[in-house]
Structure 1
Amino acid sequence: MARDRRPPRTSPAGPGRTTRSRAGSRASTPTSVAAASTGAPGAATPAAQRRFPVLPSRLGLTRRALAVLSVLVVLALSYANSLRIYLDQQRDLGEAQQQIAQRNERIGELQDELNRWNDPAYVKAQARDRLGWLLPGEKGFKVIGADGKPLGTGVVLDSQTDLPPGEHAEMWFDRLWGSIETADNPERGVGR
């Protein structure tokens, strides 16, 4: 007679409880393990043992604990992205606040300079220093160095020093006249 080697059917255990097969419960007893190794007829088959793996008891993990652990891992991974975005936003916010502080400091410096230019004494001092202007009745002089250039003349415009010798910077009225000529005769415009 050939015996049917299918695992036995399980019966419902009720709400909230898991069902256990008789083969799985037999496999966990020491007598059935010994019977399985000897090939006894009542022993659990290796296929049944593969279907319902037995966790090592030394870890103390159950299937519920594994399910909770896997849910916690999924939640941690999903919140990790949100945490990264939050930290990026905090870094951007710190940089923006630093830029605002620097710009407020620059605004304060420019406001101080504007207040100085509203003072007539400061404007006179700048005109005397930068442009070499004199008040009526004063006599001006320039100190000439050994190379023949005046010393302490104040501000030197960089645009004039960058030009080749013999050429002059184009004045504003020359540019204005050139744009008027271009508007009158667009065929002679720049780039044609």
Structure 2
Amino acid sequence: MKVQIEDKEFSCFLEYEKIKKRTRLLGIQINVDYEDKVPVFIGVLNGSFLFMADLMKEVNIPAEVSFIKVSSYHGQETTSGTVKSVIGLDIDLKGRDVIIVEDIIDTGITLSYLVDVLRKHEPASVAICSLLLKPQSLQREIPEITYVGFEISNEFVVGYGLDYRGLGRNLKDIYRYLPVPSET
């Protein structure tokens, strides 16, 4: 299946059923790892909202939820390299176990910034749970990456919370960009 978003065509890459199964496994692992704790899940808006909702349905331990909004994409396909915090935290993290929930880890610039900001709040621990990871794109080492749904190549993807120019977040599946072959 293909979808058109503005000037780009995308083909189905990860169907929702596969995402749902992997999310269930991540939830089970988090339940085991935090069995005697009450972690704070911090969703990174806007992209993580669908993944976070589905993940929280699989988490059976006591937990709190909060959100933060940071951005380095500004509507583009690739990161601008500049991080801008838009919405801050409204919960005390001192001595708490924190799990950052991300839709995708690309260069790691935004996530590295976020981990630094959260560390200033003196949490007991910080872990990262991301639906997607692009290992070839990482520009920063981020040891807090603990839970990863899928490792993908350096492709542009939309759907299931991920967008292109603000569009496509509502797609149930994840789609990858199909570049038009250049004429020679």
TM-score, length basis structure 1: 0.19
More helix by share: 1
TM-score, length basis structure 2: 0.19
More strand by share: 2
Q: Which has the higher contact order (CA 8 A, sep 6+)?
A: 2
